[in-house]
Amino acid sequence: MQSKDLDSTDRKILNQLQKDATLSAASVGESIGLSQSSCSRRMQRLRDAGFIRREVALLDRRKVGFDTQIFAQVRISAHERDGFSKAIRDYPEVLECHVMLGPVDFLLRIVVKNIEQYEKFFFEKLSKLPGIQEVNSSITLSEVKYTTALPL
């Protein structure tokens, strides 16, 4: 099943679930005009086909003590990209790692409790990864928009 196979009802289900994954099939079905059993079957089909990768709780990073968020642009020597990609997965501070086109090779989103913790992370972990040539870090002051919902 691919994106082109989704009908408007599937998209409505996905839209409801990406806003609140705790909704029951009965609740989702009621909100989009579908019976509970039909909605439940569709939800399971969407899970089985991989449209719903997993259902998680989204935590407020500040309320759990991660007040500092950094975006780090990383340049790596060409022969070390695979090693960097594998190593960066082991750091829970790195929430996202993207391979980039352009002047940098990777873009990282990192969360830590404070700037001192980032300094420690940078010098003891990040800067010691294989092939690091340059890291440019930017600290976020505030979030204007944050969502995980795709525009279905």
Predicted local confidence at residue 78, as pLDDT = 86
Ranges under pLDDT 70 in the chain: none
The answer as to whether 1 is a domain residue is: no
The Cα–Cα gap between 133 and 116 comes to: 22
The answer as to whether 101 is a domain residue is: yes
Predicted local confidence at residue 2, as pLDDT = 82
The CATH number covering residue 14 comes to: 1.10.10.10
The CATH number covering residue 122 comes to: 3.30.70.920
pLDDT tens, position by position, 65-80: 999 999 999 999 988 9
Predicted local confidence at residue 144, as pLDDT = 96
Q: What is the token pair recorded at 63?
A: 């309320």
Q: Which domain holds residue 96?
A: 68-139
Same domain for 82 and 44: no
Q: How many domains does the chain have?
A: 2
